[in-house]
Amino acid sequence: MDSKGLKNMKKFQNLSERDIDRIIEMAWEDRTPFDAIESQFGVKEAEVIQLMRREMKRSSFKMWRARVQGRKTKHAQKSPEDMDRFKSNLQRSISMNKISKK
């Protein structure tokens, strides 16, 4: 494993199992951009891909990767009004990884 891989592994060790599950859930959701994951957890797109590869079965990872590669909804537009807006209905009730009371 290269030094970059080791660095990312240490970063993942700082995440709780619940955080990792939430990152996977957000990554699997088509309309949740990678930017939302990075703003909540500090995990960049390449790190999310690495985490998904590590945590998922090979066939599931390949299916997910083929689906999200180049998908516009996974890559938020870099306009100021969209930077803090989450696209998924599920994301509206979540702010900085804390679920609001309903």
Collapsing DSSP states into helix, strand and coil, what is residue 69? coil
More confidently predicted of 41 and 79: 41
Q: Mind listing the pLDDT tens digit for each residue in 31-48?
A: 889 999 999 999 999 999
CA distances from 69 to 5, 46, 49, 62, 66 (A): 21, 12, 10, 10, 6
Instruction: Measure the CA dihedral 3/1/22/29, to 10°.
Output: 110
Which residue has better confidence, 39 or 74? 39
Q: Report helix angle 17-28 to 45-55, nearest 10.
A: 110
What pTM does this model have? Answer: 0.64
Round to whole Å and give the CA distance between 86 and 93: 10
